[in-house]
Amino acid sequence: MMPEYFLLVLILLSVGVLAGFSAGLFGVGGGAVMVPALYYAFNVIGVSDELVMHCAVATSSAIIIFNSLRAVKSHNKLGAIDWELLWPDSILSSYVFWIVIGSFFAASFLASIMSAQFLIILFAMVMILVSLHFIFGNNNLEIRSSIPTGLATPIIGSLVGALSSLMGIGGGSITVPLMNMCRIPMNRAVATASGFGFAISLPATIGFIISGWGIDGRPSFSLGYVNVVALVCILSSAFFVIPYGAKIAQILPQKRLKLLFGLCLLAVALNMAKNSLY
C-alpha cells in the first residue's frame, strides 16, 4: 500500500511542475493538467465514481487559488496586468464581480444537482474551435475594438465563472481568447487572465467545501470535496516554476505564444472530450 501512495505522491509532484508552468505561461491555472491527474489518483485510492470527479474538480480549484496569486505577482512585476479591466470603478460593471457570483453559485449549488458530461462536451467543442483558430487561423482576427460592457458584463462574467468552476479550471481557456479578440495583446491577456483565475477559484473552492461538507466516501483529509493531501503535494512543486512561465510569456514573440496557447487549448479540449466518453 505504501509504494502505491509513494507513486501517487511522485505523480502529483510532477503534475504540480506542469500545472505551475502552464499557469505562468498561459494563464490557465493548470486545471487542464490537474483535473485528469487528480481523477486518476482518487480512483486509485478507491474514491467512488459518484464523488471522484467532484473531488478532482474541487481540489484543482483550491490549487488554482495559489497558482493564480503567484502568477498575478509575477505578471504584475512585469507591468503586464490590465488592472482597470479586472476592477473598474463601478462594481456592477466589473467582470470579476460577476465571475465570482457565477463561480460560487455553480460550485455550491449546480455541482450537486447537474451532470458535468454535457458541459464537458460543449466546452470541449468550443475550445477545439478556438485552439484551431490560434494554431491555423488569422492572428489578427478581431470581433470587437474593446471589451463588451453593459448587459454583456453580467452575462459573460457569470457564465465564465460558472463553467470554469464546474470544470475545475482557472478560466484562461475562455478569457484569453475573448480578450485577444477584443484588441488586448496576447501577453497582456495572459497576464490579466491570472487575475480572473483567482476570482474564479476562490469562490469555487468555498462553494465546493460547502456542497461537499459531510458527504460520505470522500478521500481522507478532505474539507468538503477539497483534498488537502493532494493540494499540498501539487502546490509544493508548482509554486517554484510559475515565475519562469510568466517570464517566458512576456518575452516570446506574439505569433509563437499564440501557437503554444492554441496547442495547450487543443490538449485541454481533447482531454475533456475523452473523459466525457467514460
- Look at residue 185 and tell me whether its pLDDT is greater than 60: yes
> For residues 116 and 155, which has the higher predicted lDDT (pLDDT)?
155
For residues 25 and 73, give the distance between their C-alpha atoms in angstroms, rounded to a whole number.
13
- Look at residue 2 and tell me whether its pLDDT is greater than 70: no
The per-residue pLDDT for 186 is 78
pLDDT band of 273, cuts 50, 70, 90: confident
The per-residue pLDDT for 161 is 94
Instruction: Answer yes or no: are the C-beta atoms of 182 and 148 closer than 8 Å.
Output: yes
Most confident range (mean pLDDT) of 10-14, 23-27, 44-48, 53-57 is: 53-57
DSSP-derived 3-state class of residue 80: coil
- Look at residue 76 and tell me whether its pLDDT is greater than 70: yes
Q: Cβ of 65: how many Cβ atoms within 10 Å?
A: 22
First to last CA, the chain: 27
For residues 116 and 71, give the distance between their C-alpha atoms in angstroms, rounded to a whole number.
28
DSSP type of residue 52: H
pLDDT digits (tens, 9 = 90+) for 7-39: 778 878 887 887 777 767 765 556 777 887 788
Q: Cβ of 262: how many Cβ atoms within 10 Å?
A: 20
Closest to 54 in 3D by CA, of 106, 12, 118: 106
The per-residue pLDDT for 27 is 55
Instruction: Report the interhelical angle of 2-26 vs 31-44 (nearest 10°).
Output: 170
The per-residue pLDDT for 105 is 96
Residue 163 vs residues 57, 80, 132, 174: alpha-carbon distances, Å: 12, 26, 21, 10
